[in-house]
Amino acid sequence: MIALTSFKGKKLALFGLGGSGLATARALVFGGADIVVWDDKPQAVEEARQAGLPAQDLRTIAWGEIAALVLSPGVPLTHPRPHWSAVLAHKAGVEIIGDIELFVRERNAFLQKHYDSLPERQKMQAGRALQAGRPACGGKAPAKNPAGGGLQQEKETQAGLDGSACGGRLQQEKNIKDFCPFIAITGTNGKSTTTALLAHILRRAGYNVQMGGNIGRPVLELAPFALSAKQVYVVEISSYQIDLTPSLNPTIGVVLNITPDHIDRHGSFRAYAALKERLAVQSETAIIAYDDAPCQAIYDRLKQAGKRVIGVGAAADESGIINPQDCFTVPRFYAWHLGRFRRGDKVLPASAALRGRHNGQNALCALAAAYVLGAKGFEKGLADFKGLPHRMEEIGQILYQGVIIRFINDSKATNAESVAPALQSYNNIYWLAGGRAKKGGINSLLQPEYLAQMRRAYFFGEAAVEFGKSFATHSLFGGQSFVADLYPYRPAENLIAALALAWGDVKADIAAGKIARGAEAVILLAPACASFDQFKNFEERGKAFAALAEQYSGGGRSK
């Protein structure tokens, strides 16, 4: 646990008593703060009281005594309308922050405390280094690539990144800036996979990795800050959390992609994108995957402003043709081409969990972050990364009449953009989609590039009618045919029924010789929807699918 000593003696109000809220409350109390907590759910309030936390309805407290309101990221700050606790805080002139902001302030206080303890001469040297964004030991800053978007690999550059320019003199008092590095990762899709991959490759490189944030573990439950450059904090941050973190200042900030999502919580796509950009702007080094227009614009603005920024994007393939479907690159450094990772001429072994062009880009961002950090030997982590549950996770397979039938759980794919990678990563797809539809539904997927490998679709839950209508009315090839003419779909009441239909159809197609022996067929759950019509969350939906798939595959779980 990180004790929030920088708030010692201050009184804070906290609203939202889920996992991160309770962790925040404990960290504040442990650090000596005076807190009062509340939640709209009576059961949550009662559990907090049983845990010894002082609970009181925030409508009855003296707001003039409150230094800050700590708001759970799941509670609306501005849209669709501010939560009543946020309204009360605004009226009283009380700042509203989240647990990531508390983490950032405590880290800043930790670094400042040890900076203040330096002898004056060393303090001046460290201060100049902190301002210049280079190692406090006096090593050279990383060289800028005049062509833009990359890192030069000269020895002096590597030295500037990993501290070796200090001649091995890694005295604690001279490397304050290098202590407890903080890597923040955001994006509409791919945040959790990239966060987990980066944490994994850094562990393989010998780092003490503290991973948390939006990926699941509350950030304040991580290990306390330490006088070590080898203890690194890898934190997934959502737009909700960025909105509550005005002081965000990561050592490395990664923005993976920006597509429309959470508009109901931010009021507009422009506001949503601006939050993602803030993470990049306030980072010491920004890594931007500029495969979409908003990220390209952010990359261009940072570069023009002289910001230390690394771009990850489409590049010329081996034939010299620019093909964003086939090739990504970190210029002069790493590349992904047709499913293979390379460093120069060297092919890097990679896990099957990194299948698909989207994971090519995610992995390059993770590799670039590890390189900027100065890690050594981290590339080997690509080969044994196991991936995350519910993200293109192969949960079972069975051999049926010479065809491998795979069950793929992509329950985390809750919007059309996050479904697209799976539709482009497999052959002979039987697609299960449905739940509570988001704005735009699946219309952006009704293009040949996404449908080419699909055989049939099955729509379930609240979205079944809407998705079926999209298939029936959306035309392809200049109006010559509708999607449903080429790719049949069937409605189903729920996931159980949808999977039963898919199982029957895939067996029938194999028996009819429509899928050749030695090929594969994929029953893919990629809902393109929220789960809340029939499930508590995407995890519960994915677990339900996995349990059903096990029945069909006879326990033939993939190795």
Number of other residues whose CB lies within 10 A of the CB of residue 364: 24
pLDDT at 40 (0 to 100):
98
DSSP 347-394: EEP--GGG-SHHHHHHHHHHHHHHHHHT-SSGGGGGTT----TTSSEE
Q: Tell me the whole-structure pTM to 2 decimals.
A: 0.82
Paired tokens of 348:
């890097």
Q: How confident is the model at residue 12, as a pLDDT?
A: 98
Question: In 3-state terms, what secondary structure has residue 253?
Answer: strand
State yes or no: pLDDT of 171 exceeds 80.
no
Is the per-residue pLDDT at 310 higher than 50? Answer: yes
Whether residue 158 is predicted with pLDDT greater than 50 in this model: the reply is: no
Q: What are phi and psi of 455, to 5 degrees?
A: -100, -45
Which pLDDT does position 313 carry in this prediction? Answer: 84
Lowest mean pLDDT across 7-16, 47-56, 257-266, 527-536 = 257-266
Length of the chain: 559
Task: Establish how many alpha carbons lie within 13 A of residue 535's alpha carbon, considering only the half-sphere containing its beta carbon.
Answer: 24
Would you tell me the crossing angle of helices 293-304 and 269-281 to the nearest 10 degrees?
40
Residue scoring higher pLDDT (255 or 316)? 255
* Full DSSP string of 189-247: SSHHHHHHHHHHHHHHTT-EEEEEETTSS-GGGSPPP-S-TTEEEEEE--HHHHHT-TT
Phi/psi for 98 (5° steps) reads -120, -175
pLDDT (mean) for 151-179: 38
For residue 339 the two structure tokens come to 């499913």
Looking at residue 507, its amino acid is: K
pLDDT digits (tens, 9 = 90+) for 257-305: 998 888 889 999 999 999 999 999 999 999 999 989 999 999 999 999 9
Mean pLDDT, to the nearest integer, of 185-198? 95
- More confident of the two residues 551 and 122: 551
CA separation, residue 540 to residues 52, 102, 386, 534 (Å): 31, 31, 20, 10
Cis omega (within 30 of 0) for bond into 80: yes
> What percent of the chain is predicted at pLDDT more than 70?
86
List the helix and strand counts (H, then E) for the chain: 18, 24
Q: How far apart are CA 85 and CA 292, in angstroms?
A: 36
Q: Are strands 208-213 and 231-236 parallel, antiparallel or unpaired?
A: parallel
**pLDDT value at residue 48:** 96
- Tell me the two tokens of residue 284: 């010491």
Domain spanning 155-382: CATH superfamily: Mur-like, catalytic domain (3.40.1190.10)
Cα separation, 509 vs 402, whole angstroms:
13
Quote the CA–CA distance of 127 and 107 in Å, as a whole number.
16
Domain 393-553 sits in CATH 3.90.190.20: yes
CB atoms within 10 A of CB 448: 10
Confidence of residue 539 (pLDDT cuts 50, 70, 90): very high
The CA distance from 197 to 382, in Å, is 8
Q: Which letter does DSSP use for residue 217 in this model?
A: S
> How confident is the model over 184-200, as a mean pLDDT?
96
d(C-alpha 37, C-alpha 45), whole Å: 8
Q: Residue 371's closest CA among 145, 136, 157?
A: 157
> What pLDDT, on the 0 to 100 scale, is given for residue 307?
94
Contact 69, 43 (CB under 8 A): no
pLDDT value at residue 345: 85
Report pLDDT for 167.
28
Q: What is the DSSP letter of 55?
A: B
Give me the amino acid identity at 139: G
Q: Decide whether 5-97 matches 393-553 in CATH topology.
A: no
pLDDT at 159 (0 to 100): 24
241 pLDDT higher than 50: yes
Cα-to-chain-centroid distance, residue 210: 15
Q: How confident is the model at residue 556 (pLDDT cuts 50, 70, 90)?
A: low
Question: Parallel, antiparallel, or unpaired: how do β-strands 520-525 and 429-434 relate?
Answer: parallel
Structure confidence at residue 216 (pLDDT):
87
Question: For residue 130, what pLDDT band results from cuts at 50, 70 and 90?
Answer: low
Domain boundaries, the chain: 5-97, 155-382, 393-553
Please name the helix (run of DSSP H) or strand (run of DSSP E) that holds residue 133, with its range, or none.
none
Mean pLDDT estimate for the chain: 88
Q: Helix, strand, or coil here: 521?
A: strand
pLDDT one-digit tens code per residue, 18-70: 999 999 999 999 999 999 999 999 999 999 999 999 999 999 999 999 999 99
The whole-number pLDDT of residue 144 equals 35
- Beta strand 309-314 with 252-255: parallel, antiparallel or unpaired? unpaired
Of 321, 323, 324, 359, which is closest to residue 339 (Cα–Cα)? 359
The whole-number average pLDDT for the span 442-451 is 96
Query: What is the fold of 5-97?
Result: Rossmann fold (3.40.50)
Per-residue pLDDT tens over the stretch 459-476: 999 999 999 999 999 999
The angle formed by the CA atoms of residues 280, 281 and 286, to the nearest 5 degrees, is 45
Give how far the C-alpha of residue 413 lies from the chain's centroid of Cα atoms, to the nearest Å.
Answer: 12
Distance between CA atoms of residues 507 and 526, nearest Å: 20
Contact 59, 138 (CB under 8 A): no
